[in-house]
Amino acid sequence: MRHVASSCPHLEELHISGCVQVTDKSLVPIAKSCKHLRSLKADHCVGLTNDTLFALRSATMLRCLHVGFCKTLTDDAVMSVLERTSRLEILSLRYCDELTQAVLVCIGTYCKNTLTSLNVSGISSVTSRGLRYVSKRCRFLTYLNARNTAVVSRRVLKQECEQFLPLAVTHTQGIQLTARPHVKACRARFLFELRLKREIQSVIRIQRRFRVYLERKRLIAYQIAMAKAKRQSQEAAERETRRKMRRIHRAATKICT
């Protein structure tokens, strides 16, 4: 794992779920150096702590994060990742016992335009009120798993969330909701428009850089032309001076003879 950070700086996906011997000592260098990381699945990695998530703030392109059963994670670490990541689509925090309702507020604030899947099963502090806030803010949420939480029942959760998201109960065992197909189609259209907008912005940035390059090139060419003209004028002045000196010398020679 130590060699991954130095030899794979453009790593995009890292799936190490179930690797119980992996610790922060090997994950922190990867999180700091692999800034293009898009997917990290580290469920059941009991050695993963807040240090890894704090280091993961540099991975601003992160879209998928699974840290289920990492029971030492706290609100501050998870929120630090959510605040820096604007493209997160899939988030699994199942059975992270130390998390509270504050994480749900942060999810609804920073992931409202991208989040499609959320798994908070096994977190005892999660209530229907917090999930109601998430469903109200995250309009493209298509999957919600809240099994073994403080939510009273599937009926309560469905009543809380359905007025904001057209969720349908698809599993009768536990509390698990998925969105109907037209929500997925709406989200796909939104993501297409978002990607198109980002591509256009990228093209505009390239055009601006090209214009700056052309302006600098023109300025350099102008400076070179001015320096050349100045040098030529100096050389012409020197030739004229030498010509005059030769005339004076010839005239003086004639007078002396």
pLDDT at 201 over 60: yes
Please enumerate in sequence order all residues whose Cβ is within 8 A of that of 14, keeping only pairs 6 or more positions apart, or say none: 4, 30, 34, 37, 39, 40, 41, 42
Q: What is the mean pLDDT of the chain?
A: 82
10-35: average pLDDT: 90
pLDDT at 190: 66
| pTM, two decimal places | 0.67
User: What CATH topology corresponds to 2-204?
Assistant: 3.80.10
Our CA angle for 11, 79, 138, nearest 5°, is: 90
- Which runs of E-coded beta strand occur in the chain? 13-15, 39-41, 64-66, 90-92, 117-119, 143-145, 167-169, 176-179
Cβ atoms of residues 73 and 89 within 8 Å: no
Beta-ladder partners of 91? 65, 118
91-102: average pLDDT: 92
Domain definitions of the chain by residue range: 2-204
Please enumerate in sequence order all residues whose Cβ is within 8 A of that of 60, keeping only pairs 6 or more positions apart, or say none: 35, 84, 85, 86, 87
pLDDT at 111 over 70: yes
Which residue in the block uniquely carries the two structure tokens 């009991």?
46
Alpha-carbon gap, residue 105 to 128, rounded angstroms: 13
Alpha-carbon gap, residue 138 to 18, rounded angstroms: 30
pLDDT at 26 over 80: yes
